[in-house]
Structure 1
Amino acid sequence: MTRPSLLVLSFSPIASDARVLKQVRLFAERYDVTTCGYGPAPEGVVRHLQVPDDAVYWRKDTLALLTFRHRAVLARNAAVAAARPLLAGLTFDVVLADDVDAVPLALDVAPRLASGRAAVHADLHEYAPAQNEELLRWRLFVAPYVRWLLRRYVTQAASVTTVAPGIAEAYRREYGLDAGVVVNAAPYAEREPGPVHSPVRLVHSGAGLANRFLDHLVDAAERTSLDCTLDLFLVRNDPAYVDDLRARTAGSARVTVHDPVPYAELGDTLAAYDLGIYVLPEVNRNNAMALPNKIFDFVQARLGLVLGPNAEMARLVREHGLGAVASANTAEALAAALDAVTSDDVARWKAASHAAARALSAEEQSGAWARAVDAIAAAPR
């Protein structure tokens, strides 16, 4: 029996993009999956169409952007222009487009359904209209283009998902998109909670970017009365910023900045710690509604969590009893939350992560993708 064909289109290095890899693995068992994106082919696909690294998707024609000629901005996008000939002549039953920028091209290569919609599922990884709204130039010139993409193209997709309930509600309220939710959950890991260490071992892993405010974590670890250490495993997204953090903490008895570890090794690395920590100042609405993948990495590592008060993160922590929520996204508030932590708290929170690990795993949380893509594949044309 012929299997349906699925294109996973993502302007990211798919083989190392945790969210997109979960999609590939989910569907490769039942679909002939083609991927189109940067970098080498991920495992399990029947074909990979590699977009050149120098065809950067986020670069936009400045003059067209400043003069609000949005069609020209899209037409001149290097990633779209590079991917289009790679896809020429190919047909697919369903296209799964990752993030707003990929949706227009997905609509071009997907068949139309009898409903009039395109056979496209759009997975939106952020609340795109507000992703960098703290920057004036972004609010004035990029945000209108993103809103145009949403209204002109994403509304044509047969279905939509996003990463958190608050973001889904914002898309529903502002754009009429009936978005399902697939959180950035990590695959389930079969492990037991480790012992509580003395000093308590704090950890953070993720992007090394100034707008992640990692200095707050360093300051909190240095000033808290909790006997602790902090290890930061940082991707060198902004090498100068990471180097500055490394230089700043070079003489610290508590804080160490490490190179990142491969995602396949991340769970075992994190499992050697006690508490995952993170604050994300709400400088834009996207941050305010964020539910990052690192939260779920911490859970699968069976760590307790000490996080900032962003609504979605706080809800998850409180719903499952996973840890403590700081009163604000500041170094002072994070330090105060750590001051109150006891060894018994850490042991209880690690046990709570263990109890919630199955429910908060990618295997349990990815159902909305499967239902949406299967429904498109089965829809009349």
Structure 2
Amino acid sequence: MSSRPSLLIISFSTLISDPRVTKQIEIFKDRYDLYTCGMGPAPEGVKHHYEIPFGTRDWVLDRFAMVTRQYHRAYWDLPAVKLAQELLPVDHFDAVFANDIASVPVALSLKAKKGTHADLHEYFPELKNNDLQWRLFVSPYMKWLCATYLPQATSRTAGSAGFARRYTEDLGIPFGVVTNAAPFADREPTSVGDPIRMICTTAGARARKIEIIIEAMRGVTSNVVLDLIVMPNEPDYVASLKELGAGVPGVSFRDPVDYDRLVDTVAEYDVALSFIPPTNASKALALPNKFFEGVQARVGVIIGPGPEMTPLLEKYDLGESSADYSVEALRATLNGLNAEKVERWKQSAHRAAPELSSEEQVKVWFAAVQAILG
């Protein structure tokens, strides 16, 4: 019988390809008896995995419950929630680590012996507030979930200082911050290419407005080329982007790569684009993986004027921000690129890489779980 405390990590995602969850598994698997619950196969190094089959719905099916604001029914009738409750033992784990608001109520229902930590990857009350239906019917549900269950967690973290600030303003409870930093990569910056090679890795979702990036390349006068790696989240949208890009010189598409190969792939380039228009509060306050992957790849980073990314960009001289989120502003930034400027950014990324690595960030999670377990 093990003398180590037991910890369950739960997430309604594919655990082995969820960047934030894989970092949690990595830091806890050698310290505790680690259990996981989520979609896909068992992550390496865990004591036991409670698998939720792919496609098990964790999104509300009951429209009547949503319209009539019967939120308790809407949540607890979710197939993924019901299955997790069937799979997971109550009063069994010393601590539970819940990822995202959808897993927090289930995590609390397991009655961990010492406590529960909640990690919020996004700002959920306004996750898709650019959509009217979502704003009218889903946002109130998200606010209910957060207000009802987050105060019951022993401790909480969020993916950016902006997210943490909004949650604290909403709920009056403290949140720590763990950014989506990438693991430290021991590499040297490469020399700047001719032409300057740019890469954009992104989810293929309309809310990302990726067409702005493609249109900005139309008529660019500087010596640059752009490759895009776009995940097929919305296949018809991705198809329209490829059709648009076919008519723009210097724009190409690459197939998606596994997460563990992403930094190596970005390192083939000179500049990474982390340009995310603020179509909702979650996008406006984003501090995304791709920003930190650019740092670990030792490339420059071009962003829009986001309040979370800009201070880090300027503090470490990692790249440049466009004046706004328009095609014209991004094109002006791209037209200002030259080899000397990009070389400076790449060297700055090299100096900042240790400090901006996930190894520094995950210490916050480790401290939170240690505080729960004593």
Residue-by-residue CA offset, 1:144-186 (whole Å, 9 max, x unaligned): 1111111111110000000111111111111112000000011
Tell me the residue number matched to 1:305.
Answer: 301
Greater Cα offset, 238-247 or 174-183: 238-247
Paired letter, 1:238: E
Deviation at 1:224, TM superposition (A): 2.0
Tell me the residue number matched to 2:173.
Answer: 177
CA distance in 2, matches of 1:37, 1:355: 37
Deviation at 1:22, TM superposition (A): 0.3
Deviation at 1:90, TM superposition (A): 6.6
Unaligned 5+ segments in structure 2 are none
- Where 2:154 maps in the other structure, the secondary structure is strand
Q: How many residues align?
A: 373
Tell me the residue number matched to 1:337.
Answer: 333
Deviation at 1:29, TM superposition (A): 1.2
CA distance in 1, matches of 2:47, 2:326: 47
Residues 279 and 330, structure 1, Cα contact 8 Å, conserved in 2? no
CA distance in 1, matches of 2:170, 2:73: 25
Residue-by-residue CA offset, 1:88-122 (whole Å, 9 max, x unaligned): 35711110000001000000113355xxxxx1100
1:287 counterpart = 2:264: no
Paired letter, 1:143: S
CA distance in 2, matches of 1:101, 1:319: 35
Residues 203 and 230, structure 1, Cα contact 8 Å, conserved in 2? yes
Greater Cα offset, 31-40 or 217-226: 217-226
Tell me the residue number matched to 1:31.
Answer: 32
Residues 49 and 86, structure 1, Cα contact 8 Å, conserved in 2? yes
Residue-by-residue CA offset, 1:262-295 (whole Å, 9 max, x unaligned): 1111111111100011322212221111101110
Paired letter, 2:220: T
Paired letter, 2:92: T
- Where 2:187 maps in the other structure, the secondary structure is coil
Question: Which of 247, 272, 276 is the matching residue for 2:272?
Answer: 276
Tell me the residue number matched to 2:16.
Answer: 15
1:110–1:226 distance in 2 versus 1, CA, 3 Å: farther
Deviation at 1:251, TM superposition (A): 4.7
Residues 90 and 109, structure 2, Cα contact 8 Å, conserved in 1? no
CA distance in 2, matches of 1:29, 1:330: 47
1:217 counterpart = 2:217: no
Please show how residues 94-109 of structure 1 align to structure 2 within 5 Å.
94-109=95-110
CA distance in 2, matches of 1:269, 1:98: 27
Residues 245 and 257, structure 1, Cα contact 8 Å, conserved in 2? no
CA distance in 2, matches of 1:159, 1:53: 29
CA distance in 1, matches of 2:61, 2:118: 21
CA-atom RMSD in angstroms: 1.3
- Where 2:185 maps in the other structure, the secondary structure is coil
Paired letter, 1:227: N
1:240–1:86 distance in 2 versus 1, CA, 3 Å: same
Please show how residues 222-237 of structure 1 align to structure 2 within 5 Å.
222-237=218-233
CA distance in 2, matches of 1:110, 1:206: 38
CA distance in 1, matches of 2:194, 2:217: 15
Tell me the residue number matched to 1:325.
Answer: 321
Deviation at 1:248, TM superposition (A): 2.3
Tell me the residue number matched to 1:40.
Answer: 41
Please show how residues 39-118 of structure 1 align to structure 2 within 5 Å.
39-88=40-89, 91-111=92-112, 113=114
Unaligned 5+ segments in structure 1 are 114-118
Tell me the residue number matched to 2:161.
Answer: 165
Give me the identity figure in percent. Answer: 42
Normalised by the size of structure 1, how large is the TM-score? 0.95
Tell me the residue number matched to 1:5.
Answer: 6
